[in-house]
A = this chain, B = another copy of it.
Amino acid sequence: MEFPSKLIENAVGELSRLPGIGKKTALRLALHLLKAETDTTASLAEALAKMRFEIRYCDTCHNISDTPECAICANQLRDQSTVCVVSDIRDVIAIENTAQYQGMYHVLGGVISPIEGIGPADLTIDSLLERVTKEGSEIREVILAISPTMEGDTTAFYLSRKLRDLPEVHVSSIARGIPMGGELEYADEITLGRSIVERQRQARQ
């Protein structure tokens, strides 16, 4: 694609480096910004730069935070005895949105992936072990809420091994099974198989 202006070409080039945005979408976004008030572009550019340069991570759980301790870690009303281990900040947002969990979090910052060159040392695993084992730790349960991909399972397995020698800490995983509203016939064999093996007895009414 040839552009009538280097300025547009640069903007389209930068926008199309974002995931899921191709040249055509990037051009549409650039032309939208050109049609809108200059303020729109100014505040977008400022919000992005400010976010990237001023973002902090919680010292304890490594979640995104504007302060050294994030709002979840600072909240004394939450259950300090349970830690939910997730790979990504997005997972924290997703679980918080369910309003079903009142404990703490620990964000690994990814999953173990030899292909991408990500080993245990690149994640916040040491920080998790320190949290769990340190003097006076209240943590009694570690929930592994990691996506059931190959890399995710490897990471969960690695963590279970590291945590199994701590007798006072239970390790659990989020439930696997047929999603709500999911059709049995469309579920993959492994999910369906596991959902039968790990069936749950209903309470008598």
List chain A positions with a Cβ less than 8 A from chain B: 1-8, 10-11, 13-15, 17-21, 25, 27-34, 38, 40-56, 63-66, 70-72, 88-90, 92-93, 96-97
Q: A27-B90, A28-B20 are in contact. Are A49 and B42 (CB under 8 A)?
A: yes
Chain B: CB-nearest residue to A19:
B32
Whether the pair A51, B33 counts as a contact (CB closer than 8 A) is yes
Whether the pair A66, B5 counts as a contact (CB closer than 8 A) is yes
Whether the pair A4, B93 counts as a contact (CB closer than 8 A) is yes
Whether the pair B47, A42 counts as a contact (CB closer than 8 A) is no
Chain B: CB-nearest residue to A90:
B31
Whether the pair A43, B28 counts as a contact (CB closer than 8 A) is no
Q: A4-B64, A29-B19 are in contact. Are A14 and B93 (CB under 8 A)?
A: no
A91 CB to nearest chain B CB (Å): 11
Whether the pair A5, B65 counts as a contact (CB closer than 8 A) is yes
Whether the pair A34, B55 counts as a contact (CB closer than 8 A) is yes
A44 CB to nearest chain B CB (Å): 4
Chain B: CB-nearest residue to A7:
B51
User: Complex: how many Å from CA A114 to CA B88?
Assistant: 48
Report 24 cross-chain contacts, Cβ distance below 8 Å, ordered by A residue: A1-B93, A2-B96, A2-B97, A3-B64, A4-B70, A4-B72, A4-B89, A5-B51, A5-B64, A5-B65, A7-B50, A7-B66, A11-B47, A11-B48, A14-B44, A21-B29, A27-B93, A33-B48, A34-B51, A34-B52, A41-B51, A42-B52, A42-B53, A45-B46
A174 CB to nearest chain B CB (Å): 20
